[in-house]
Amino acid sequence: MSGSLIFEDSEKLSPRYVPKVLPHREEQLSLLHSLYKSVLENPKEAYMRVCQLVGPVGTGKTCTALRFGETVEEEAERKGFKVKHVYLNCKLEGAKRFILYRSMLNKIAPGTATRSLSPEEMLTRLVQYLEENDEYILITVDEISYFLKSSKEHLIYDLTRINELTLGRPCRVLGVVFIARSLSFHKMLEESERSTLGKIIIDFPRYSGEQIKDILRLRVEEAFKPGRIDDEVLTYVSDVTAMPPINGDLRVGLDLLLYAGILAEREGYDRVLLDHVRRVHGETYPGITSEDILYMDPDERLILWGLVRALRVNKTAYVSLKDIRTEYWVICEEQNVEPVEEIEGYVQDLIYRGIVDMKSLTEFGIMGVSTEDLERFLDMIVEKLKRGVNEFREETESMG
């Protein structure tokens, strides 16, 4: 962000960034540490620990798991053995064992996953690799409900029993951490699977307004130049984030700060005014957050963009698949990408994600948006989609 009047580093507000310090999650982190303490003291003798992180959206489950994984890796290194933390996100990577295990294998042992391996073979290969290289892993499976909603495969059962592949030898998988928004996913499990899951649940309660303010203050210090966000603005953002309809979803609070900053900058201000936040706020809810868009499949992102455009062109709250397809093709042409043949599967996935609302077989809209609200925030979504598309492009380009 060179030359910005407002931002020191706007990446620090991005969902990809995991801050070193996570205020008000000390207790959850310390529970995790005590749960894995003995495992880290003596990994050779340890048995696998399974736990669940459960709490509403935006309560810091993912960032806590990522921070914990990193500390485990560091601690193991200090103790002279190797642990890798593998983070899998069912919403992001797909709800198929084949895809998740391949991704896991690629992260642990790059180059060993081939298309011809079955999911079971991939797990065997994973354990083999760990044995041969004297390594251990900790697995985190995020958004597990999303997997269970769209697949009948027994992911939990598989992962919690990997160690049975090496009966009698040290267990290479030190633990599996499952993350969900509520305990309702238990209902989707068979009895045997529920029992392998165990009963250790770490609760992530909603943040209060005060807690949100503490957290956002630190993020503001990292992301903005000094004095760009005064206390009044910070209090306003924190209150709005804590209250319904946002109900403490920190992702929305961070987005409010980011887009208010962008707006202030665009209008030539050297600090963010309450008015900037108010205007952005009017356009942000119902939230499709930057996180949703950043981690979306690139084709899916363009299809969502097609839907948003079709809504705007038709000035209605619902459009047909045909309308979406038409706009999607135009966008693909503008963006110079090859359109996918079938958009239905992607639209279905957007419905699973709670982003697209299907009123009938021929009526698709954005979840929670009425016709009156439509104009107000379609712009904001387009802004986010553009950022998402551009960031993705930068990533692929830097990969070569």
Ligand X SMILES: Nc1ncnc2c1ncn2[C@@H]1O[C@H](COP(=O)(O)OP(=O)(O)O)[C@@H](O)[C@H]1O
Q: Name the site residues for Mg ion (rule: CB under 5 A).
A: 62
In which region does residue 305 sit, left (phi positive, over 0), alpha (psi from -120 to 50) or beta (all else)? alpha
Mask of contacts with ligand X, 333-372, x by CB under 6 A?
----------------------------------------
When binding is defined by CB under 6 A, the residue of 4, 9, 11, 24 that contacts ligand X is: 24
Mask of contacts with ligand X, 59-98, x by CB under 6 A?
xxxxx-----------------------------------
Kindly state whether residue 19 participates in binding ligand X, applying the rule CB under 6 A.
yes
Kindly state whether residue 248 participates in binding ligand X, applying the rule CB under 6 A.
no
Instruction: Between 223 and 381, name the residue whose CB sits nearer to ligand X.
Output: 223
Contact 228, 263 (CB under 8 A): no
Tell me how far, at minimum, the Cβ of 341 lies from ligand X, in Å.
33
Contacts of 164 (CB under 8 A, 6+ apart): none
113 membership: H or E segment, kind and range: none
Tell me how far, at minimum, the Cβ of 71 lies from ligand X, in Å.
15
Contact 83, 174 (CB under 8 A): yes
Tell me how far, at minimum, the Cβ of 7 lies from Mg ion, in Å.
25
Kindly state whether residue 160 participates in binding ligand X, applying the rule CB under 6 A.
no
Kindly state whether residue 58 participates in binding ligand X, applying the rule CB under 6 A.
yes
Tell me if residue 370 falls in helix, strand or coil. Answer: coil
Closest residue by Cα to residue 324 from 288, 353, 300: 300
- Interacting partner of 58 out of ligand X, Mg ion, none (Cβ under 5 to 8 A depending on kind): ligand X
Is the C-alpha dihedral spanning 173, 175, 180, 182 positive or negative? positive
Give the residue closest to Mg ion by C-beta.
62
The residue type at 159: L
Kindly state whether residue 22 participates in binding ligand X, applying the rule CB under 6 A.
yes
Instruction: Between 55 and 287, name the residue whose CB sits nearer to ligand X.
Output: 55
Helical spans, DSSP H, in 315-370:
321-335, 344-352
Instruction: Between 35 and 63, name the residue whose CB sits nearer to ligand X.
Output: 63
Tokens coding 147:
């997997």
Cα–Cα–Cα angle for 347, 290, 202, nearest 5°?
Answer: 95
Residues in contact with ligand X by CB under 6 A are 15, 18-19, 22-25, 55, 57-63, 204, 215, 250-251, 254
